């Protein structure tokens, strides 16, 4: 398909009618969004062992199986529905890995080994960045982040979507403060250029 004249709402309509190509294109447009959601919600004990892309793929399979159940018409409605499915899959992944970890800890206790207690699952409060992730703008931003080098995208995601300090990002990425600041600066320049070009040529909109 890949017709720039076809709107997201039209894709949704065709997808609900069973057009598998439309479902695939609709998911491709939101894949970056799903990845950002997965990265921000996977617990730090899990993300080292689970690739966010695997959870994204699981959600895509879920949408293919359930698309006929979606009763909305707009992208905003689709995002709410899509996020609910995605969060369900993410929670299942966390539950599985946390459960596996707890069973492993229980075995260590039985064997008399030292046990390090697991940190509780992160419960983030409702923030401005979380509200952003329910808007169509989040889809555009996530798609733009996908175009950046991985280190720049991660630095910007942590700084502006997660609200981390540069010092915390530095520790997380094992980079110097100046290096992280440079990643963020270069990434923002690229994003600004991307959105400027998109505004001047609407057909480039993801």
| Mean pLDDT in residue range 120-126 | 39
| Mean pLDDT in residue range 75-96 | 92
Task: Please give the backbone phi and psi of residue 201, each rounded to the nearest 5 degrees, phi first.
Answer: -140, 80
pTM: 0.73
Crossing angle of helices 20-41 and 75-110, rounded to 10°: 50
Model pLDDT, residue 120: 32
Task: Please give the backbone phi and psi of residue 65, each rounded to the nearest 5 degrees, phi first.
Answer: -75, -25
Q: Which domains does the chain have, with CATH numbers?
A: 1-124 (1.10.1740.10), 147-206 (1.10.10.10)
Instruction: Determine the distance from the C-alpha atom of residue 123 to the mean position of all C-alpha atoms in its chain, rounded to a whole number.
Output: 17
Model pLDDT, residue 25: 96
CA distance 132 to 183: 23
| Mean pLDDT in residue range 133-162 | 88
Structure tokens at 123: 């419960």
Of 56, 65, 50, 4, give the one whose Cα is nearest residue 31: 56
């Amino acid at each position: 398909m890949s017709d720039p004249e076809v709107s997201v709402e039209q894709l949704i309509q065709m997808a609900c009618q069973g057009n598998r190509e439309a479902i695939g294109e609709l998911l491709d447009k939101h894949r970056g969004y799903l990845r950002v959601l997965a990265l921000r919600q996977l617990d730090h004990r899990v993300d080292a062992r689970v690739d966010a892309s695997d959870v994204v793929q699981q959600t895509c399979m879920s949408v293919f199986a359930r698309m006929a159940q979606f009763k909305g018409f707009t992208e905003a409605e689709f995002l709410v529905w899509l996020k609910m499915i995605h969060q369900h899959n993410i929670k299942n992944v966390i539950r599985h890995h946390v459960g596996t970890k707890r069973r492993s800890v229980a075995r260590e206790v039985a064997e008399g080994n030292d046990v390090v207690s697991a940190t509780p699952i992160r419960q983030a409060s409702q923030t401005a960045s979380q509200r952003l992730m329910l808007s169509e703008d989040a889809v555009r931003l996530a798609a733009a982040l996908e175009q950046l080098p991985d280190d720049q995208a991660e630095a910007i995601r942590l700084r502006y979507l997660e609200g981390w300090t540069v010092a915390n990002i530095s520790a997380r990425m094992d980079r110097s403060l100046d290096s992280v600041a440079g990643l963020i600066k270069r990434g923002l320049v690229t994003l600004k250029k991307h959105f400027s070009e998109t505004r001047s040529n609407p057909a480039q909109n993801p």
